[in-house]
Structure 1
Amino acid sequence: MHWPARLKLFPFLAWLPAQTGRSVRRDFLVGLGGAVLALPQSIAYALIAGLPAEYGLYAAVVPVLVACLWGSSWHLICGPTAAISVVLFTSVSPLAVPGSADYVELVLLLTFLAGLFQWLLGLLRFGSLVNFVSHSVVVGFSAGAAVVIALGQLPYLLGIDLPSQATGYDSLVHLLALLPRFNPACLAVAAISLGSSLVIRKLWPRAPALLVGIVLGSLVVWALPTLFASVPRVAAFSGSLPPFSPLSLDPATVLRLLPTAVACGMLGLVTSLSISRTLASRSQQMLNANQEVRAQGLSNMVGAWFSGYLSAGSFTRSGLNLQSGASSPLAGVFSALLVAVFALCGAGLIAHIPLPSMAASILLICWGLIDFAGIRALYRVSRSEFVVMLLTLAATLLLELQTAIYAGVLASLFFYLKRTSQPRVQQWVDGDEEILRLEGSIFFGACHFVQLRLQRSTARRVVIEGQHMNFIDYAGVTMLHQEARRLRGLGRSLCLRNAKAQIVEELLKLEGPDQCPIEFQPPL
């Protein structure tokens, strides 16, 4: 096998042989910090997704290994995320009881389908399709998902037994009705964990604040068993490496899960590529977007067979990777291996974690999901993008989350088409010529707007300055031909000046150079 083909199949061969003893030691220490950060987050995200706690650890092992070894980014670390976890929960919980064997099987099947969709996008070099999910949609969805997640964790924080609801609005309504039944002991444990995490984050920003808060809450419950006897704990599990999970590819189930799988796959790719591009700009790395998309898909396809549910880029862990000086994706590999060691040896400790402490930690994660600076920037820079963000936020609270993603994308496309359908036109008169400088493209959406501007002209000669036209489609070609013939019938003319070669070529295809009613400057 030739070296280029080998690199395409095993891209990690491009950087792995170049590692030195010093770089490996540095990456190991960075990976250790990433594993410490991943432990509480992964468990919390699994609970958000309605899965047993151990599945959060499993999702931080095999998918992370595959994404690091086959990806393009030096610093991107994947794993379970809050937004995807809540989408999985709201999508799959109506089909099976959360935490049950059937529920786990459906989540893993959905993960495989989402990974297959991502891998096919990368294989066909369609990675740019994720750009249709605009930044405003991501900001609005993240803020809405944070609120939905927080509402879903408040029952654990308050010690209230509340069944899962389809939307954030339904959760709020039912929670307010049951609020008088709250458990003071649960609230006290949550307050201890939340307060200690905030203090640690303030005094030592690089310390694992979430882990410290969970440990302190657990110690308080352990030290005062009589006072906190009513506080529920995380369900115990036997320590093991990620087990093999055969998937049942039932056609009816696949078709039922496919829309959610596509939505989750797109959301995961947008998150991962946004993070990897941000990190690449800081580290001056050249990023291969299609390779990264393929790696994300492969990690979820393989991870699903080893009990890893849907993963995507984690900004906190990836940012820690960059700030700590990771020299290669080997830091992510070490992080995954260390999480696997904990899943094998430290499972008994997890059974001592109080659910209110986990809920308090998740509330802190939710607060970090809301991009307040990005929301303010959207309001200052683009009111239309701000409206898209608000619509996505509202849809996230009022609709099922996968529907909210589609609603946000459609809103973005609507405003984009509205903006491009009215290209900017500068107009002035020079003698017997009326000149229209068109800044945009003439496609089917803009044809009516441009035609109206041409029909308002009363000059003997109408000139379109075309140096800023990027492309023209069949509808635009037909419209310009019709307007040129209309003006010729009135003893007037239509001229296209300084147009790009491909624009002129498209216009001449309809009737040929001899029959074209449009004049060109410079002449053909």
Structure 2
Amino acid sequence: MPLPSRQTLLPFLRWLPNTTRRSLGNDLLVGLTGAILALPQSIAYALIAGLPPEYGLYAAILPVIIACLWGSSWHLICGPTAAISIVLFTSVSPLATPGSADFVALVLLLTFLAGVFQWLLGLLRFGALVNFVSHSVVLGFTLGAAVVIALGQLPNLLGIQIPSQPTALDTLLNIGQHLGESDWRALLLTLFTLGLSLLIRRLWPRAPALLLGISAGSLLVFLLPEQAAGIALVSAFEGQLPPFSPLTFKLSNILQLLPAAVACGMLGLVISLSIARALASKSQQFLDANQEVRAQGLSNMFGPWFSGSLSAGSFTRSALNLQAGARSPLAGVCSALLVALFAVFGARLIAHIPLPCMAASILLICWGLIDIAGVKALYRVSRSEFLVMLLTLLATLLLELQTAIYAGVLASLFFYLKRTSQPRVKVWQEGEEELLRVEGSIFFGACQYLQQLLQRSHGERVVIDAHHVNFIDYAGVEMLHQEARRLLAQNRSLILRRARPQVIEEIHKLEGAEHCPVQFED
């Protein structure tokens, strides 16, 4: 086996030498725009995940740099995301108190395990495995995650404190029991921040609406200290680069986190590759899915050693990267480096942000996750996929989120197998021949359905037009032999017409060409 080349081990060598002063300046400007967008989002996602706010910034530094340098996409930007953050929270909160040192350690361990799973998939060139998580599952999960995240922010919006709950339904019931403790000032501050952010987004679509809305709300609290007394603020932290965080590999923790790590890893890959493919189609770029999978794995394997929680593709930041004219992945690297500068020199500013303002920004993010047009299109195109989306949505609201992902995948596979177990068959009569045109594979799942059709036939010559049969397994071969022998006993015959060579070869393997009861015609 030939040794991998330098460009395989260090894929950024393919494009980095082509960087010019002009393209670097352009990518730096695009990176600045991305960093401005990343700052409020990263802090918000850390709070969603139950982590201290600085961990959102840490996750937007080293993991982003690694994913950009080792990935295949020119424009994909990774980092903390809303869906990943809520899965992290629901996976780890039953094991440790959110925000505590134990909670942070478990989140980082889960991130490392998810990264190893992703990297192995890419190493084994199983990148296509993420295709088994259908678009309907992702759509239903994203809708459910938006609702779960929004419900999780209601306590900050109402100025009340309640313990974390494992499901959205439990959260809603718990909030209902504490509505009498609501602080109207927190609610008004949330509405002010939310309204201003929406107004800015409407009047100046390119402006950083989240950042400006949070800044205005924070300034209002600062200018009215007496009226705003008692409103909770984001926890202060010391400005520094991402600190080294040695991981503790305790077997019991690994076994507890492994199912969630696989779910998070798959979800992250589905999100990242979906975004990367959409951007590649617009930029006319060739995308190496397995290289992108390996890059995602590397970013999540090395990120937690430097306090970075699980990262995945961000549609908002990636689309901005493309629209702003990024020339290379250096735009993402520049964005991460600028976030690092803020983590060092701007940490004190974060301690002045009220939690109701952060709740408003998170609600705005949740609204952006709701794809109404996608839901309508799915309903028009496929009712079965729409049902999968609804089942995933309900599972997301009623179950823990990693369980909801598995439930959605199983529902999607169930409907897929149901469709393939009843391939399209057209039946018609031509004299003594009864013809069956089979459009699909003859495999174990479809054998019973096809055998019933053959047993209902009455022609002297039962002809299967197998031109559209691409695959046949052992169960299918055995079924055809069994039906051919049954027809021979009745002085009738079973004939495969226009069968592909690989199908004929598989059928002959059972008893050999000389003793095969099935006849073949061109």
Aligned to 1:249: 249
Q: Name the residue aligned to 1:440.
A: 440
Matches within 5 A, 1:211-222: 211-222=211-222
Residue 180 of structure 1: CA displacement?
2.2
1:160 is the counterpart of 2:160: yes
- Is the Cα–Cα contact under 8 Å of residues 109 and 248 in structure 1 kept in the other structure? yes
**Aligned pairs for 1:109-508 within 5 A:** 109-508=109-508
Contact persistence 1:32–1:334 (CA under 8 A): yes
Residues in 2 aligned to 1:311 and 1:257: alpha-carbon distance in whole angstroms: 17
Q: Deviations over 1:338-383 (max 9, x none)?
A: 0000000000000000000000000000011111111001100000
Partner Cα separation in structure 2 for residue 201 and residue 46 of structure 1 = 23
CA deviation map 1:400-422 (0-9, x unaligned): 00000000000000000000000
Whole-angstrom CA distance in 1 between matches of 2:185 and 2:472: 68
Q: Which runs of 5+ in 2 are unaligned?
A: none
Query: What SS class does the counterpart of residue 200 from structure 2 fall into?
Result: helix
Match of 2:97 in 1: 97
Q: Please provide the CA RMSD for this pair.
A: 0.8
Structure 1: any 5+ residue segments left out of the alignment?
none
Partners of 1:168 and 1:160 lie apart in 2 by 17
List per-residue Cα deviations over 1:460-494 (Å, max 9, x = no partner). 00000011011000000000000000000010000
Residues in 2 aligned to 1:392 and 1:320: alpha-carbon distance in whole angstroms? 29
Q: Distance in 2 between matches of 1:62 and 1:323?
A: 24
Residue 162 of structure 2 aligns to a residue whose secondary structure is coil
| Partner Cα separation in structure 2 for residue 331 and residue 505 of structure 1 | 54
The letter of the residue matching 2:91 is: S
Separation in 1, partners of 2:303, 2:423 = 47
Partner of 1:87: 87
What code does the residue aligned with 1:372 have?
Answer: I
For 1:20, the equivalent position in structure 2 comes to 20
Could you tell me whether the CA contact under 8 Å between 1:185 and 1:230 is conserved in 2? no
Amino acid at match of 1:105: A
For residue 191 of structure 1, report the CA deviation from its aligned partner: 1.0
* CA deviations over 1:172-200 (Å, ceiling 9, x no partner): 11112211221011111111110100000
Cα distance in 2 for partners of 1:151, 1:519 equals: 64
Residue 170 of structure 1, CA deviation = 0.6
- Number of corresponding residues: 521
1:299-337 Cα shifts (integer Å, max 9, x gaps) = 000001000000000000000000000010000000000
- TM-score, structure 1 as length reference: 0.99
Return the alpha-carbon distance in structure 1 between the equivalents of residues 251 and 464 of structure 2.
Answer: 56
- 2:510 — aligned with what? 510
Runs of 4+ in 1 over 6 A off after TM superposition: none
Residue identity matched to 1:483: E
Amino acid at match of 2:361: S
Identity %: 72
Following superposition, the deviation at residue 3 of structure 1 comes to 10
Contact 1:464 1:495 in 2 (8 A): yes
For 1:84 and 1:4, the matched residues in 2 are separated by 33
SS across alignment from 1:237:
coil
Question: CA–CA distance in 1 between the matches of 2:500 and 2:211?
Answer: 60
The aligned counterpart of 2:69 is 69
Alignment correspondent of 2:519: 519
